[in-house]
A = this chain, B = another copy of it.
């Protein structure tokens, strides 16, 4: 089994190292990840600049890697289209430092890298540790590895991906696993207005999550309960409900046309 490993925190981040160290026990690993921190880049791709690719050697020389001068989506795209001689069986993106839950997945480089894999017909998993400061990626890496072993049997459909969030702490304190839908997180005071040393105004994106109502079957609720959340993700943005409505509207000339 061959796995393409990527992330959005950059190839030198501890999360991708923990992931690679664990997954190499069960599969052949190829790493292609951004040279720099790329959090919140969403599904950004680089079309107006050249993309530099350099070999990257982890201290364990058995694992080859490419350091990509671009975004997470660039990294997966160039690895699958150009760098890898043979397509991988799976793309795994992470382990992200910090949660990727609810509507925030739209901003996530980690999830977008996995989406890019799925768009290429390679099943994908995005993994995040739901803590901005815990340095312990072990439980997340172990769980991800157990999922990968399950998918060895080809159970994950071709164009699909899973978004996995793991609560911080040791594995034996995790309360269980929930298969979830995406919840919703709203922020207040999204921007801080500041003044630079020359008296000019600028803004910095900040924001505190508003305590919302997330039903028990959402990813947000699972993490709050100390459970691992697995959300299946698709990338067909068509709104089929509204589609039917608009078509009816068009036909009856309620109008549009």
A57 within 8 A of B: no
Q: A37 and B48: CB pair below 8 A?
A: yes
Given contacts A47-B39, A47-B40, A201-B53, contact A191 B243 (CB under 8 A): no
Interface residues of A in 213-246 (CB under 8 A from B): 230-240, 242-243, 246
* Minimum CB distance partner of A69 in chain B: B202
Q: How far is the CB of A171 from chain B (nearest CB, A)?
A: 13
A240 to B231, CA, bound (A): 9
Copies of this chain: 2
A194 within 8 A of B: yes
User: Which of A78, A202, A232, A237 has the most chain B CB atoms closer than 10 A to its own CB?
Assistant: A237
A147 within 8 A of B: yes
A134 within 8 A of B: no
Secondary structure at the A interface, as helix, strand, loop or mixed, is mixed
Q: Which chain B residues border A235 with CB–CB below 8 Å?
A: 103, 106, 237
A105 within 8 A of B: yes
Q: Which chain B residues border A230 with CB–CB below 8 Å?
A: 246, 256
A247 within 8 A of B: yes
Q: Which chain B residues border A52 with CB–CB below 8 Å?
A: 200, 202-203
A115 within 8 A of B: yes
Q: Which chain B residues border A41 with CB–CB below 8 Å?
A: 42, 44
Mask for A197-217, Cβ within 8 A of B = 1, else 0? 000111111000000000000
25 contacts between A and B (CB under 8 A): A40-B44, A40-B45, A40-B47, A41-B44, A42-B45, A44-B107, A45-B107, A50-B202, A50-B203, A50-B204, A52-B202, A73-B107, A74-B205, A103-B119, A103-B235, A106-B112, A150-B255, A179-B247, A230-B246, A232-B246, A233-B238, A233-B239, A234-B237, A234-B238, A235-B237
The residues of A with any CB-CB pair to B shorter than 8 Å are 37, 39-48, 50-53, 73-74, 77-78, 81-82, 103, 105-107, 112, 115, 119, 147, 150, 155, 157, 160, 176-177, 179-182, 190-191, 193-194, 196, 200-205, 230-240, 242-243, 246-247, 249-250, 255-257
